Chain A
Amino acid sequence: MRMIALERPDDPATFYEHAAALIAEGAAPETLSWSVGASADLFGAATPATRQKWPGEKLFSAALLHRTDTRFALVYRALWRASGDARFLENPADPDVCVLRRLEGEVRRDSHKMRAFVRFREIRDGEEARFVAWCEPSHYTLRANVDFFARRFANMRWSIVTPDLAAHYEQGEVRFAPGGTRGDVPAEDARDEDWRAYYAATFNPARLNLAAMQSHLPKKFWRNLPEAQAIAGLVRAAQNRAEAMIAAPPTAPRVERAPAPTPDAAEAQNLADLRAQLAACENCPLHRDATQTVCGAGPTNARLMIVAEQPGDQEDLAGAPLVGPAGRVFDEALRRVGCARDDIYVTNAVKHFKFTLKGKRRIHAKPSAGEIDICSWWLRREVELVRPKIIVAMGASALRGLTGETLPVRESRGKLIELAEGRRLLTTTHPAYLLRLQDEQEKRLAWRAFLDDLAQAAQLAA
């Protein structure tokens, strides 16, 4: 049996160098015995080969920091196997991979607990403050975590002392020194009492659950955590505190509030009032899931009014009509026919976004005739207040909202309908329809017709 002695217990780089040389030599795993700390002349490997990248190195490097004596033999066997065919490393069910994964997991958890549970105490070190911590990791994790602390506390002077190794940091430089003892670090810090006060106050005695606590914070960590001194007392008092809260006579709310007056929509004499009333609309269930009512937007005296179907995802978020993808098509069309959006009143037949959930996305759902009819009350009030010369219904929902009838857009498109007070209604397609069309030829024709309709409306409004 050949003895391979490594100088340090936490030095994957040197291990890899020796492993590379041994594999090159053809040293079979079962002929080797690995150890740490023996003197250098027992050293059994040939000249270290140049540093190479190993497949699975992340897994190996973590496993090599485990405290088990078998770690070097386990990783060497995996490297030996991988030098023939490395594919087994990608098989999570491979027994060697499983064992290494377990070691890696334990080291990762140990690293995580170090980052979590190191507690610095402030001491005077010459002129300046130094923050020192005593920590007892289960594995050789300090060296691998120094970088984490150096990034986080780049401008502090700090030391972390463990039984195996100490790290001292100052101005970007880390110096390693032999391990120490608990006595090297002060037992208390000036802020410990505040921290315990916080810990006690943030605990909810009505939810006492010691098992859950201990699964995350096993007792072995308690002796190095200042807050752990408070645990016993908190647990003892918890039951009584919770019962007292339940038994205490409740306090009455300070003021009995009358419900807010329901706005009477008929009273709205201008668009601002109408908008305020609309914001509270609960006439149909659509308000339950939508963000907000989306009222029309535009000048009170607009001669041209455009009515689309309903707000979409973007309109619902922004609270404004036609600002999403279909809105961009609409804006482009206006630009083409030389019409300014600022001169137009733009609104929807239905004022709340109706959608179905697909995973985490909200997918537009067509409003029902009933929903359009309920909401048409608001649309009529908008028409009455704006008094446009011409109204354009974009799509079947808008047409229904304005006429109360379900008419096919294909047949009504481009035709003028006379309304009361000399108002006229022109029907066209909804811009979202243009976005949905797949066939290029069809799309061109529909776009042309849409532009013609808008141009006609603009002309009639002028």
Chain B
Amino acid sequence: MGFDIRQKLAVLADAAKYDASCASSGGQKRDSRGAKGVGSVNGSGICHSYTPDGRCVSLLKILLTNYCMYDCAFCVNRVSSNVWRARFTPAEAAQLTLDFYRRNFIEGLFLSSGIIRSPDYTMEQLVETARLLREDHQFRGYIHLKTIPDADPALIARAGELADRLSCNIELPQEQSLKALAPEKRISTIRRSMASIRSQIDGHAADKSARKRRFATGQSTQMIVGADSADDSAILRTSAVLYGGYRLRRVYYSAFSPIPDASAALPLRAPPLQREHRLYQADWLLRFYGFDVEELTQATDGGMLDLNLDPKTSWALKNRALFPVDVNRAPREMLLRVPGLGVRAADRMIAARRHGALRLDDISRLASSVKKILPFITALDWTPGATLDSDRLMQKLRPEPRQLDLFSCA
């Protein structure tokens, strides 16, 4: 690999890094035995490294090119941005993926692109790269392709046959901000693209015949946080609508980050990382803890999540009448609402209480942190007494200031 490729790689990876997704999980299981290529996917993804921003490196995340016709204000690659431009051929991108994969640097490829010539042409280039990997090199690793919403649906369908995951960024939580900041993009086109991908994924999942063609198993999207005036309630409502409508695996939240050569249309300040973190927590509550989006918006303070308190605790403090929860009797749905109690710990408690009533000792063996749970539960030898009604409970629950683990994924 020459110096030239390395320079291009630096430019095209730098241009791709504002996409938060790095997941390599949820693909169809397969491996390279019986093929001539390399690669395997075994359900759960692997983070092969971590950069000093705490984010995982699972895939080779690059753009095929960072030339772009569009002028989206929040994007480092917009046409009006004065950054270095570069372009990989599909063959170069495929070869780089294989070279990195053979050394166990990555799980696969996350390929996106600036829009050049036309949406169809751009999509064809992405599809061609994936085709080279899958067909010519029989690559069995993970491929995530970005879909260009304006591209021909036939190209998107072809992308679905080659990739494990497709994604199409909603970019901003509100339609009016998209109109203002991304003049060439239209929310309706993005949504129609997601709808079409969902229908195809559903169709392939429902078709149990052995002859069915391989198809991507999921789609995801990303929303930029802090580039427009949308509050957390608006963001979470948009997420809930997207999860409900298009069965997304994930909505990624990306704190708007200062970029080299930023647009005058945007706030130049440090990225709101803590806000992003709270949104991820709230998103988890939506997906795994049975919370309705309206319950979460009611737990906000004028539309914004408390930066000092996790959203589940915020919700619990506003719904104290529902607590304490008896860990020996409460149904799973209610255990999941106890601040500090995760899905795994709740399930362990349910299994353990079949063997005898739970005491504090048992709970300390089952949950990772008992201190946070105590004000909200009763056990055989524990009641929280008046703490739950105390005005100082919120102060007690606020964590010591520390740098938070923003997110990890695989």
Residues of A within 8 A of B (CB): 87-88, 90-95, 98, 112, 115-122, 131, 133, 148, 150-156, 172, 189-191, 193-195, 197-213, 215-217, 225, 227, 231, 234-235, 238, 242, 245-246, 248, 250-255, 257, 259, 279, 288-289, 291-292, 316-319, 355, 357-362
Contact = CB atoms under 8 A, between A and B. Distances in A.
Contact of A116 (B14, B40, B46): B46
Given A251-B264, A359-B292, A360-B247, 6 more contacts: A92-B365, A191-B1, A204-B53, A207-B255, A216-B47, A253-B71
B301 interface: no
B10 A201 contact: yes
A131 B103 CA distance: 7
B332 interface: no
Contacts of B105: 119, 191, 195
Contacts of B40: 148, 151-152
B333 to A, nearest CB: 11
A292 B192 contact: yes
A279 B187 CA distance: 12
Nearest to A153: B38
A212 B402 CA distance: 11
B286 to A, nearest CB: 8
B389 to A, nearest CB: 29
Contacts of A197: 6, 9-10, 13
B209 interface: no
B261 interface: yes
B53 A118 contact: no
A205 to B, nearest CB: 8
B162 interface: no
B53 A208 contact: yes
B54 A211 contact: yes
Q: Which of A91, A148, A205 has the most CB of B within 10 A?
A: A91
B290 interface: yes
B104 interface: yes
Nearest to A212: B54
A121 B358 CA distance: 52
Given A213-B53, A254-B80, A317 B198 contact: yes
Of all A-B residue pairs in the complex, the 8 with the closest CB atoms, nearest first, are A212-B54, A151-B31, A254-B80, A201-B13, A203-B51, A93-B352, A92-B348, A207-B53
A201 B187 CA distance: 30
B199 A317 contact: yes
A95 B365 CA distance: 8
Nearest to A112: B46
Given A152-B40, A207-B271, A254-B71, A216 B56 contact: yes
A202 B270 contact: no
Interface string B70-90: 010100001111100000000
B195 A316 contact: yes
Contacts of A213: 50-54
B352 A151 contact: no
B9 A201 contact: yes
Nearest to B12: A201
Nearest to B291: A359
A86 to B, nearest CB: 12
A110 to B, nearest CB: 14
Interface bracket on B: 35 or more
A161 B225 CA distance: 45
Given A91-B351, A291-B245, A208 B52 contact: yes
Contact of A120 (B52, B102, B264, B355): B102
Interface string B38-71: 1110100011111111111100110000000001
A94 B14 CA distance: 50
B268 A201 contact: no
B52 A231 contact: yes
Given A151-B40, A204-B53, A98 B365 contact: yes
Contacts of A90: 351, 354-355
Contact of B17 (A152, A204, A215, A246): A204
Contacts of A153: 32, 38, 102
Nearest to A211: B403
Contacts of A253: 71, 73, 78, 80, 263-265
A122 B273 CA distance: 40
Contacts of B264: 250-253
Contact of A217 (B6, B49, B199): B49
A357 B52 contact: no
Interface stretch (B213-221, B236-244, B318-326): B236-244
Contacts of A245: 258-260, 262, 268
B351 A359 contact: no
Contact of A361 (B100, B194, B244, B255): B244
A288 B271 CA distance: 28
A197 B14 CA distance: 10
Given A191-B103, A213-B52, A361-B244, A154 B57 contact: no
B117 interface: no
Given A118-B104, A151-B31, A252-B264, A194 B9 contact: yes
A163 to B, nearest CB: 19
A152 B39 contact: yes
B183 interface: yes
25 contacts: A92-B352, A148-B42, A152-B40, A154-B33, A190-B1, A194-B1, A194-B6, A201-B10, A201-B13, A202-B51, A207-B406, A209-B52, A211-B405, A212-B53, A246-B258, A246-B269, A246-B270, A248-B261, A250-B262, A255-B71, A291-B191, A292-B188, A317-B198, A318-B199, A359-B290
Contacts of A361: 244
A151 B31 CA distance: 5
Nearest to B141: A152
Interface in B257-300: 257-266, 268-271, 273, 287, 290, 292-293
A220 to B, nearest CB: 14
A203 B52 contact: yes
B387 interface: no
Contacts of B11: 201
A360 B48 contact: no
Interface in B333-372: 348-349, 351-352, 354-355, 358, 362, 365-366
B152 interface: no
A288 B188 CA distance: 10
B205 interface: no
Given A116-B48, A318-B199, A212 B405 contact: yes
Contact of B81 (A201, A251, A355): A251
A242 B82 contact: no
Contacts of A206: 257-258, 270-271
B175 interface: yes
B27 to A, nearest CB: 13
B135 interface: no
A9 to B, nearest CB: 25
B16 interface: yes
Contacts of B402: 211
A94 B79 CA distance: 62
